[in-house]
Structure 1
């Protein structure tokens, strides 16, 4: 293992230890289980919060099938197949775990809601490392990252402290868009990562505004139900990306691509050059002989 890799892991571990020392524990609030929409239809408790998980099962199974059916996604690296397999397993399991939790919300069942999500989160980080940094390191990191997610759940359950889980859940929300913008991709259609991140951010806002949205919609739908539907759009966008993308012949980051596009726009839209000077145009006119009619 190279020295810089050891340093990176050392800094990451040290930062985590310092964070755990200087921040107070975050216990799980019992109010978390008090969702706005608790209506029952067809004998299903909390019906909409339960059935709104169904899209996760559909897209998770579709993704798993396409990973192995006729090389549909055309993975260039073996590690990618393993990473995306873990991701789609996590997505499909979210439907089962979250539905089980919402039938009777409590701490014991919440474990099975959060565990599949950590599998999906940590798999995504491994996929980014495989594709944009180093295949071998990314492939090796799949198991440690999955274990880190599982340990964060167990730590919360046994010590009633959400800090490790919060890091596992929210760090990818920051790291993935940043890496998607700054690191050169192996494939085209990288903007789909940003669409996925945007929908996940929207889902978290809807989750926080659960009761507010329920009141705004006159008790038609709650924020938590909409959160499930928006969060399910994340694997939808990533599946579309996998289906459409091709190998990028000239790898360059989205940031660089945007800079080039902006420079071209400045040159064609106005008369201002990238260096701030004004373009001058020279026009030449030619005389056209007139032929008189007879």
Structure 2
């Protein structure tokens, strides 16, 4: 088993090196810092993009409190506690780092916006490994995955190449929904993972349509401001999941659950009423 783990890491490293060799570097565009909404309120520049980060602070602190106050989330594994702690610390730090960046957007400040996000992304991957694959492997992977995220930020800052950071950001967006669907869960309420993934995907769409939404709403709110609010729903959904879930007695993947539900639905629609008839012999009486 240990050899398989080593082989898996070596294959992943090899794939990463090949990708870095065959793909061109991706520099940070300076147009990224030019957001649609530049309005100042109460002396705060880019006010809505700054203030809209506040929900991250709230849900991050709430999550940390619930992790440790009477073990409200009923985290039975030490690795889970460490992983969710890293996640909620990253979420809370997003509020500080992103607000700092949006006060005066540039590359130097963008580091502090992206750094806590990578901590949240990578810790979520470790948590998923604990839940769906192996507790020990997931626990051991927390520090390497978080370090990989931090290194991707350092690499971008020094070499102006976003490829490692892009992998850290988008690989969990693909892998986690697939694992949530295909691998049997340890706990109930696994669909919250998909709601969280959907929220993040919507947030990226809003980010890409920053100017368009600002025009559609007649300069009321920009796509980037909405992106912050929708992205904050990711930890909200995961917090609801932690609060509601229990140990899954019969572990089966969401895909299998959906197949069973679909089969029952089809069988229910195809059922028709059946009638039974009985026939008796009646003796015919000939007329005289």
Q: Which residue of 1 aligns with 2:87?
A: 87
Secondary structure class of the residue paired with 2:218: coil
* 2:169 corresponding residue in structure 1: 169
Query: Where does structure 2 lack aligned partners over 5 or more consecutive residues?
Result: 279-288
- In structure 1, the gaps of 5 or more residues are 272-279, 287-294
Between the aligned partners of 2:199 and 2:123, the Cα distance in structure 1 is 18
- Correspondences of 1:1-294 after superposition (within 5 Å): 2-271=2-271, 282-284=274-276
> Following the alignment from structure 1 to structure 2, what is the Cα–Cα distance between the partners of residues 185 and 76?
15
For residue 75 of structure 1, report the CA deviation from its aligned partner: 1.1
Separation in 2 of the partners of 1:161 and 1:22?
Answer: 14
SS at match of 2:232: helix
CA-to-partner distance for each residue in 1:11-53, whole Å, 9 max, x for gaps? Answer: 1001000000000000001100000000000000000000000
Identify the residue that residue 276 of structure 1 maps to in structure 2. none
| Structural RMSD (CA) | 1.2
Distance 2:189 2:269 in 1: 26
Give TM-score, length-normalised by structure 1. 0.93
Query: Structure 1, residues 118-164: CA drift from partner, whole Å, max 9, x if none?
Result: 00000000000011111111000000000000000000000000000
Q: Deviations over 1:159-199 (max 9, x none)?
A: 00000000000000000100100111000000000000000
Q: What displacement does 1:76 show?
A: 2.2
SS state of the match for residue 207, structure 1? helix
> SS at the partner of 1:258?
helix
Cα offset for 1:281? 5.4
Alpha-carbon distance between aligned partners in 2 of 1:185 and 1:161, rounded to the nearest angstrom: 36
- Once residues 71 and 237 of structure 1 are traced to their aligned partners in structure 2, the CA distance between those partners, rounded to angstroms, is 19
Counting matched residue pairs gives: 278
Q: Shift in Å at residue 4 of structure 1?
A: 1.8
| Moved segments of 4+, more than 4 Å | none
In the alignment, the residues of structure 2 paired with residue 101 and residue 43 of structure 1 have an alpha-carbon distance, to the nearest angstrom, of 16
Normalising by structure 2, we get a TM-score of 0.95
Q: 1:2: how far off?
A: 2.2
Measured in 2, the distance between the counterparts of 1:20 and 1:175 equals 20
Q: CA deviation at 1:270?
A: 2.0
Output the CA distance in 2 between the equivalents of 1:205 and 1:198. Answer: 11
| Separation (CA, whole Å) in 1 of partners of 2:64 and 2:277 | 65
**Residue 285 of structure 1: how far off its partner (Å):** 7.1
Q: Give 1:83 shift.
A: 0.3
